[in-house]
Structure 1
Amino acid sequence: MDLKQREAWNENHKILTEIILKPEEHSRTIQLFLSQHALLHSSAIGNTGKLTLEDEVLANLDEKTFRNYPAATPDTKNSIAWHLWHIARIEDMTMNILIANDQQVLFTQSWYEKMNNDFSHSGNNMSEAEIAELSSRIDFHSLIAYREAVGRQTRQVLSLLKPGQFKLKVEQNRIKRLFDENAVTQNANWLTDYWSKKSIAGLILMPATRHNYLHLNKCIRIKDKFHKQIKNPL
């Protein structure tokens, strides 16, 4: 995505924010969400024929760059591996537990085992040793495939919502599921406190869209800086 496409994405996100709570705009909201969301996952998901932000992350991404930790960028030192894991997990748990009250994608098709990763939570409040472990162990191809599966499921969940449902608040029993399923750790309860105050619309406007957008841009900055360091070592 070039600068013009990023500007368009941000403008459309503003429009989505303006219309999402209007039942009479439900069909338009769903279509706009699907368009925005498609640009944050593999181009295979939306079938738009456009290069997406994830496509940009994965272009020329080798495993050394993917796993590099700590990353020497001003806004994050976490690895690309961690960022991709984090956004996939956040989207999975918020869409499938908090909105759909259904099974997480993580526990279908043996994704947990395929990714060779001991962590099932969101990655918030991890120690440096834990981030280093995740970055070195997680299977690259399985993580990308898992994130694609999460994206496809999100589109299914949102397409089934009815007019007026975007106003519904997150149910507290679903917040409890996050802890019961180790999706969120006890020391990250600030995150569940934040989500417990949100409506479904709030989850759509952050975890499912803006949150992905922010972290994918961080991944691009990490990759670009690491590649420049390789080309121009001190």
Structure 2
Amino acid sequence: MTKEELYAPIREKYNELRWALEGSDIDTIIECALEVHAMVHPAEISGKTEKTIADYVLDYMLKGNQNKLVPREDYDVDLHYAGTRTVPMCWQFWHTYRIEDLVSNFLMTDQEQIFNEKWKRKIGSSITDTGNALELDEVIAFGKEINIEALHDYLIMVGKNTRNILKNLTLEQVKSKVSYENVMRILEEGGVTTDFRSIWLLVYWAGLTIGGMILTPMTDHHMMHLPPCLNNLSILDE
């Protein structure tokens, strides 16, 4: 298959989600959000049988390729505020699912995040934050410490939790912004660091509505980080 064939259905459904979020039909918003979320996450999370982009990358990573170095993104979005433009493949999953955990729980629903000291020990991570500010040598060392099976279990739990949150959102929540106190909880609980390459995330998230969080951390953010990993696989036609 070609990249266009792989990405076109996601783009189409993502555009439907954007249009839905401009309206007031909460059932359509939730339906579109769940569909796009399913398309950019492993099928195990949504219960679908057909492999997703995330499945292809995850399968490859679980076969001993967690430390294969890849571009952080295919196009510049937040690279001006990044410690390195090259990361091990496992960092892509750590980064995207730590952000999804933090945003969905602290900002979208005001509840506890899934990640805790127990998960930190199981995964073998030296950090609790999203890893934005790590330099190349630091991110390589980080990748070598990771228990990839435990990271897989974590991301599956995060994704399933997000879907439960999405199913129960009200229109009022979708249109609202979060409180300053909830944004700062992420810093207080180690989700970001005080390094400017990390803490800028709080400024960005504070400016979003919950609908905006659905469009970025929950969905499109994954499509920023999955494509450069997919480029290493044989499923794409030249």
Q: Structure 2: which 5+ residue stretches go unaligned?
A: 75-84
Query: 2:193 and 2:73 mapped to 1: Cα distance?
Result: 27
Give the match's secondary structure for 2:86. Answer: coil
State the percentage of identical aligned residues: 27
Residue 94 of structure 2 is matched in structure 1 by 85
Query: 2:61 and 2:103 mapped to 1: Cα distance?
Result: 28
Change over 3 Å in CA distance of 1:173–1:140 after alignment to 2: same
Aligned partner of 1:13: which letter?
Y
Residue 35 of structure 2 is matched in structure 1 by 35
Residue 52 of structure 1 is matched in structure 2 by 52
Query: 1:152 and 1:4 mapped to 2: Cα distance?
Result: 27
Q: Which moved more, 1:75-84 or 1:130-139?
A: 75-84
Determine if contact 2:71/2:86 at 8 Å carries over to the other structure.
yes
Residue 217 of structure 2 is matched in structure 1 by 207
Residue 155 of structure 1 pairs with residue 163 of structure 2: yes
Say how many residue pairs are matched: 221
Q: Give how far 1:72 is off.
A: 6.6
1:193 to 193, 198, 203: 203
Give the match's secondary structure for 1:184. Answer: coil
Residues 108-150 of structure 1: per-residue CA shift (max 9 Å, x gap): 8x22211011210011111223201211011111111101100
Query: 1:161 and 1:37 mapped to 2: Cα distance?
Result: 15
Instruction: Let me know the Cα RMSD of the aligned residues.
Output: 2.0
Aligned partner of 2:57: which letter?
V
Residues 36-94 of structure 1: per-residue CA shift (max 9 Å, x gap): 1112222112122221111111234355421134x378844111011110001010101
Query: 1:6 and 1:74 mapped to 2: Cα distance?
Result: 15
TM-score when normalising by structure 2:
0.86
Determine if contact 2:43/2:49 at 8 Å carries over to the other structure.
yes
Q: Which moved more, 1:39-48 or 1:207-216?
A: 39-48
Residue 124 of structure 2 is matched in structure 1 by 116
Residue 134 of structure 1 is matched in structure 2 by 142
Aligned partner of 1:175: which letter?
V
Q: Structure 1: which 5+ residue stretches go unaligned?
A: 226-234
